[in-house]
Amino acid sequence: MSIAQTTKSTAQLHCINCGATPASAAQDFRCTNCGDLLEFVFPEWSHDPQALKSLWANRKTILKPLDQSGVWRFREMLPGIAEEHAITLREGNTPLYDLPRCAHFAGLDALQAKHQGMNPTASFKDTGMTVAASSAHAGGFRWVACASTGNTSASMAAYAARGNMHSLVLIPEGKISWGKLSQSLDYGALTCQLRTDFDGCVGILNELVRRKPVYLLNSVNPYRIEGQKTAAIELMEQLEWEPPDHIIIPGGNLGNSSAIGKALLEMRDLKLISRLPKLSIIQAQGANPFYRSVTEFGGKKLDPMTADTQATAIQIGNPASWKKALRVLNATGGAVEEVSELEIAEAKAEIGADGIGCEPASAVTLAGLKKLTRKGFVKRSETVILILTGHLLKDPDFTIKFHRGDLFTGTPYEQQAAQTARLQRAPVVLDADLDAVVAALDQAESRNS
Ligand code: F0G
């Protein structure tokens, strides 16, 4: 039985550029006519929105793994995959948190974050990976592969292991965090650290899939995008189907913004929601090709660049899905913004201080929101959701260096870094002496009062 049993499995591949509708995808998931990206469309969809909402709500009470998954629970909006091929770690089901301190920081009355770092491998990638890895399994592949800044590879390695497939990881040497590298090792991937950057890894992988029968699991794979859509569906359910005014998301390879935006448009078309939130995309200043594409070239072209940021997850200079992201940016009326290394570090510490925390790439959302509020694009009383993409523990190095005051040592930001000192909480090393601890406590209390 197909997973999408209540649909007639009407998913159709469609080229975003020339409109070709191939029956199946090539190894590199590019259109064989024009080389552009493919997406799934659902021409025969005719769902009753109220019936869908109750079906999805009811599944939460059912103990079957696929109904417990925060991705497969929404399978009517996914391409059909035969149930015996589904690989799930009960992904999705991520919390929506109030961030009162961050709201104040950004100049808003209230602020919420959907924490996609609360997924099984601690990043949003799991929501797309469960669908795409299942499709690899259905296709009978022995090997799956990806190029990654660390989170995709961690997620892919886990799902491949669960599905008894081998995984090949291409990562840029010295440019991903230890937390992420350790995950792909433990989940048993063949991990190749290439002496290049992420974009260089993508280039090699694109060649490799033409030579070897490996299944490509980067976000050019449209199954990834379909799975990642469910974060937006789940978010709307958590908001009782009342859309927020704004959703703010980090932009790297731009698959996630494309996915969230696609879900919003589809939910609007299916009348699951009555209006579209504005979807805004934030990039690090040192890895801002999409920001420049929109602000300098009106979205007409994208100039690849050599990316440089300590938010290593989004250190990407040639984002594959930029045209898809541009489409949803325009369709929802969102903004694009860039933020500096200092702004990222400051915003990350603020999110931590709200008792939530995230990895640096996720913190660009709060830093960008602050700028958008200052510019008047976001109003004080509007409802805003940040998408936090990765867990705090993904990159402990960054966090410890920040709190010790070492993060910007030897960088162009060394002088300005003093402005983040108020947020730093370096560990205090003391003798094993009660009076010393009491003195430290009194000192901290006097600082706080
Ligand atoms: N946030 C985190 C934590 C990420 O790992 C990524 C991307 C992004 C944001 C950006 O998402 O690429 O869809 O625009 N990480 C990829 C990886 C590229 O290989 O793990 P995007």
The token pair at 355 is 């008792």
Count Cβ atoms within 10 A of the Cβ of residue 209 and give its class: 0-12 exposed, 13-18 middle, 19 or more buried: middle
- 125 CA → ligand 1 middle, Å: 8
pTM of the shown model: 0.97
Ligand 1 centroid–CA 252 distance in Å is: 6
- Secondary structure (H, E, C), 263-313: HHHHHHHCCCCCCCCEEEEEEEHHHCHHHHHHHHHCCCCCCCCCCCCCCHH
pLDDT of residue 8: 46
Angle, helices 289-297/322-332, rounded to nearest 10 degrees: 60
Q: How far apart are CA 211 and CA 39, in angstroms?
A: 24
Distance from first CA to last CA of the chain, Å, rounded? 63
Closest by CA to 134, choosing from 88, 66, 173, is: 88
Residue 447: per-residue pLDDT: 84
Ligand 1 pocket residue status of 201, Cβ below 6 Å:
no
For the CA of 180, the nearest atom of ligand 1: 20
CB 284 within 8 A of CB 311: yes
State the pLDDT at residue 5.
43
Binding site membership of 219 for ligand 1 (Cβ less than 6 Å): yes
289 lines ligand 1 (CB under 6 A): no
Q: Which of 148, 205, 256 to mutate to test the pocket of ligand 1 (most atoms within 8 A of CB)?
A: 256
Tell me which residues of the chain have a pLDDT lower than 70: 1-9
**Contacts for 342 with CB less than 8 Å, ≥ 6 apart:** 408, 413, 416, 417, 419, 420
With H, G, I as helix, E, B as strand and everything else as coil, classify residue 42: coil
How many Cβ atoms from other residues are within 10 Å of residue 426's Cβ? 11
Q: How far is the CA of 390 from the centre of ligand 1 (A)?
A: 9
- What's residue 6's pLDDT? 41
- Span from the CA of 107 to the centroid of ligand 1 (angstroms): 27
Q: Which of 124, 39, 184 is nearest to 314 (CA)?
A: 124
* Cβ-contact 119, 142 below 8 angstroms: no
pLDDT recorded at residue 9: 55
What contacts 104, CB < 8 A, 6 or more positions away? Answer: none
Instruction: Judge whether 136 and 217 are in contact, CB under 8 Å.
Output: yes
Residue 39: which of 219, 233, 209, 277 has the closest Cα? 219
- Measured from the CB, is residue 361 less than 6 Å from ligand 1? yes
Query: Nearest CA to 245 among 86, 379, 82?
Result: 379
